[in-house]
């Protein structure tokens, strides 16, 4: 297990490094420098030369790449071209916001999705199951940002139950971590988390219903029933344990979904996270931030599949990796 | 909206019903066809798809106005008999843009997926057939591709290409979407290449290309078709997201994602301008998912669901 984990970790790091390399070269070969962006009014040549020298763009690309890698080993992601601060700082500000949003969405996604999926499986082919199944199919097919807009329109703009966007009230709660301000933060978090969580929950419910149905039809469940166990115990203890196995695959798949969703949902709700940072950096051709964001994003995806693989080994002894 | 437009819309619905009826009639002759239509959402899904495709093809007849036609002082009008789905913030008829937008959105979905499936099938076929270092190299590439969030790569690619054309966008969407398919195809090919018919083809002197493309891949068609059906929906959602961020289909072109982006700025005044295109996307993607699920049940009886 340990050797497998080390190999798997090394592969993960290699993948992230490959992503960073590809991003770095695509970005540098395409335009390459702070004033290569095709502006309406080009900067004077002298200013461009000074800017290039300041950010190190006057050197050959492979030298820049080598320097970037060396700096990366020291945890230095370079300096942003547009934000006047190190990329690492900008990412460090944005990541916790995205993490909170993703975590809240994940809780809604898994809690609601599992509950609905199990309930539907137990009531298979009833009116409730069919209605919930169609509803889940519909919600799962919505563009996540469009659902965000509709939710925003109804609950913030028309009903005034929730704020329209941002992390918190900028006047009353600039950054104070008092209890009212934490509640204010949760109040702002509700709509974006709900939007992202609902679309995810619809997918999880469809998946979990199928997994549960497959297990319910197996012999050992019939044995449990024949022993005279209460139906509740048969379903929630005997059947659910095995029905949760495919759910682990879903954990790995959820990370990319949350990342993609975060890019769009953060834009709708003006949530200052990774997604918005990355989109703005791409729009403004802030290359160091783009590369840094690619590093974090691919890192999260790789981490998701790693976690899923490890959980599989823990949960299912049949596929546990043994050291030779 | 004139009588002709209503008639055309009704005609599209009737045609879609006829398509479903005809398919159902032919389906009873095969076991897979019967399994397909046994799925409760299969028929409604096929109907919705046939309806939207017909409307897209017949756009000039169905749409009451040209898609780019701006009517001065008719911005943000609520739905009325004249503008059935209202007008957008630029004074354009929402229904007309929705109808023409079906061409763009469905077209990007289908073509983007076609590119992705073609590349995915070729890469998966080659990797699975040759195994060894070819397989290793290609699958490591797939690992890297899967680790890059697709929307992020596309945003980057679009931002770096100035004045992107629709064809390039379709190509980019396809080229960032084949990784999953290639894994699926590879797994299938790995087992198919050991079967007797593949050995027979080799024994008769067929080259690797012939064995892969004429013998092995056609037998792996089922998972490819299913993943394509489900993939069109995700491509449409991706196009909508990109266009919403202003990095997808260039602006005045009426894709459904663009329409949401245009309507968004006046969401509080004229919610219909962004609501209806979003609803259209949801319906089409839902129909595609329903048909994809039914296809999976029909073509692969071993896996009943999931």
| Sign of the alpha-carbon torsion through A133, A134, A137, A142 | negative
- Cβ atoms B273, B259 nearer than 8 A: yes
Note whether B241 contacts A137, CB cutoff 8 Å. Answer: no
Determine the 3-state secondary structure of B232 from DSSP: helix
Residue A267 pLDDT: 87
C-alpha–C-alpha distance, residues B132 and B182, integer Å: 16
What torsion do the CA atoms of A203, A208, A213, A218 make, to the nearest 10 degrees?
A: 150
Best CA proximity match to A243, nearest among A138, A112, A141, A119: A119
CA A247 to chain B, closest CA, distance in angstroms equals 11
Task: Give chain B positions within 8 Å (CB) of A142.
Answer: 278, 281-282, 285
Residue A128: is its pLDDT beyond 50? Answer: yes
Please tell me the predicted confidence (pLDDT) of residue A142: 92
Which of the given ranges, A170-174, A193-197, A259-263, has the highest pLDDT on average? A193-197
pLDDT tens digit at each of 306 positions of chain B: 678 888 888 888 888 899 888 888 888 888 888 888 888 888 899 999 999 999 899 888 888 888 887 887 777 778 888 887 888 888 788 888 999 999 999 999 999 999 999 999 999 999 999 988 999 999 999 989 888 888 888 888 888 776 778 899 999 999 999 998 999 999 999 989 889 999 899 999 888 889 999 999 988 888 888 888 888 999 999 999 999 888 888 878 888 998 998 888 888 888 888 889 999 999 999 999 999 988 888 887 654 443
Task: Work out the minimum CA distance from A178 to partner chain B, whole angstroms.
Answer: 33
Q: If we measure between CA atoms, which residue out of B180, B277, B185 comes closest to residue B236?
A: B277
Residue B3, both tokens: 């009588």
Choose the closest CB to A137 out of B268, B271, B290. B290
User: Of B274, B251, B161, nearest to A31 (Cα)?
Assistant: B161
Is residue A1's pLDDT more than 80? no
3-state secondary structure of B212: helix
CB atoms closer than 10 angstroms to residue B100: 23
Confidence of residue A255 (pLDDT cuts 50, 70, 90): confident
What is the predicted pLDDT for the residue at B232? 92
> Could you tell me what percent of chain A has a pLDDT over 70?
91
The pLDDT, as a whole number, for residue B170 is: 92
B275 inside 8 A of chain A by CB: yes
Angle between helices B132-147 and B179-192 (to 10 degrees): 150
- Residue A222 is classified by DSSP as H
To which H or E segment does residue B11 belong? helix B3-27
Average pLDDT, chain A: 83
Q: Which of residues 225-264 of B touch A (CB under 8 A)?
A: 233, 237, 240-241, 244-247, 257, 260, 264
Reference B175, options B237, B114, B116, B216; nearest CA is B116
Chain B residues inside the 8 Å CB shell of A263:
149, 151-152, 155, 241, 245
- Contact A206/A133 with Cβ under 8 angstroms? yes
Best residue in B43, B137, B149, B183 to probe A by mutation, most A CBs within 10 Å?
B149
Q: At B76, phi and psi to the nearest 5? A: 55, 30
Token digits for B253? Answer: 């072109």
By percentage, how much of chain A surpasses pLDDT 90? 13
Which of B290, B24, B278 lies closest to A130 in space, CA to CA?
A: B290
Task: Report in angstroms the alpha-carbon separations of B294 from B234, B267, B301.
Answer: 17, 36, 11
Q: Which of residues 238-257 of A touch B (CB under 8 A)?
A: 246, 256
User: Considering the entire predicted model, what is its pTM?
Assistant: 0.89
State residue B305's pLDDT score: 41
In eight-state DSSP terms, residue A239 is: I
Query: B137 CB near a chain A CB, below 8 Å?
Result: no
């Amino acid at each position: 297990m340990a050797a497998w984990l080390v190999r798997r970790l090394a592969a993960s790091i290699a993948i992230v490094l490959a992503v960073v390399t590809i991003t770095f070269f695509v970005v540098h070969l395409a335009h390459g420098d702070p004033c290569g962006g095709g502006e309406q009014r080009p900067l004077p040549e002298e200013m461009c030369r000074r800017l290039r020298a300041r950010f190190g763009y006057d050197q050959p690309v492979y030298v820049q790449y080598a320097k970037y890698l060396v700096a990366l080993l020291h945890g230095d992601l370079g300096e942003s071209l547009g934000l006047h601060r190190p990329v690492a700082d900008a990412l460090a500000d944005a990541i916790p916001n995205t993490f909170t949003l993703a975590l809240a969405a994940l809780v809604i996604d898994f809690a609601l999705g599992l509950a609905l999926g199990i309930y539907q499986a137990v009531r298979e082919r009833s009116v409730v199951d069919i209605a919930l199944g169609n509803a889940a199919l519909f919600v799962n097919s919505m563009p996540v940002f469009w659902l965000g807009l509709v939710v925003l329109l109804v609950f913030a703009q028309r009903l005034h139950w929730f704020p329209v966007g941002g992390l918190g009230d900028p006047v009353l709660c600039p950054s104070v971590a008092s209890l009212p301000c934490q509640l204010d933060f949760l109040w702002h978090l509700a709509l974006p988390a709900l939007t992202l969580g609902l679309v995810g929950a619809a997918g999880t419910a469809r998946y979990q219903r199928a997994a549960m149905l497959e297990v319910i039809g197996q012999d050992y469940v019939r044995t449990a029933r024949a022993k005279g166990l209460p139906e509740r115990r048969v379903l929630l203890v005997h059947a659910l344990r095995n029905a949760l196995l495919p759910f682990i695959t879903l954990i790995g798949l959820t990370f990319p979904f949350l990342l993609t969703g975060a890019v769009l949902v953060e834009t709708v709700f003006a949530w200052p996270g990774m997604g918005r940072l990355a989109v703005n950096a791409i729009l403004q051709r802030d290359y160091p931030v783009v590369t840094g964001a690619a590093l974090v994003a691919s890192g999260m995806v790789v981490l998701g599949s790693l976690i899923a693989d490890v959980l599989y080994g823990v949960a299912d002894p049949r596929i546990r990796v043994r050291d030779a | 909206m004139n009588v002709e437009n209503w008639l055309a819309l009704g005609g599209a619905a009737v045609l879609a019903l006829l398509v479903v009826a005809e398919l159902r009639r032919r389906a009873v002759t095969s076991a897979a066809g019967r399994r397909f239509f046994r799925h409760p959402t299969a028929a409604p899904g096929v109907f919705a798809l046939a309806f939207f495709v017909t409307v897209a093809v017949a756009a000039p007849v169905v749409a009451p106005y040209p898609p780019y036609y701006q009517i001065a002082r008719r911005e943000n009008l609520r739905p009325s008999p004249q503008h059935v789905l209202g007008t957008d913030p630029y004074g354009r008829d929402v229904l007309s843009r929705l109808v023409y937008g079906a061409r763009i959105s469905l077209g990007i979905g289908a073509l983007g997926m076609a590119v992705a499936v073609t590349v995915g099938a070729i890469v998966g076929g080659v990797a699975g057939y040759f195994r060894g270092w070819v397989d290793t190299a290609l699958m490591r590439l797939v690992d890297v591709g899967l680790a890059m969030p697709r929307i992020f790569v596309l945003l980057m690619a679009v931002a770096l290409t100035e004045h992107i054309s629709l064809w390039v966008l379709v190509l980019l969407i396809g080229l960032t979407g084949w990784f999953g398919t290639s894994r699926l195809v590879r797994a299938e090919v790995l087992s198919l290449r050991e079967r007797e018919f593949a050995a027979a083809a080799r024994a008769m002197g067929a080259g690797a290309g012939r064995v892969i493309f004429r013998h092995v891949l056609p037998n792996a068609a089922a998972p490819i078709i299913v993943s394509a059906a489900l993939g069109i929906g995700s491509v449409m959602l991706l196009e909508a997201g990109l266009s919403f961020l202003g990095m997808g289909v260039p602006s005045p072109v009426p894709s459904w994602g663009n329409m949401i982006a245009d309507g968004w700025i006046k969401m509080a005044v004229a919610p219909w301008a962004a609501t209806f295109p979003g609803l259209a996307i949801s319906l089409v993607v839902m129909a595609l998912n329903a048909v994809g699920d039914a296809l999976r049940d029909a073509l692969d009886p071993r896996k009943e669901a999931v």
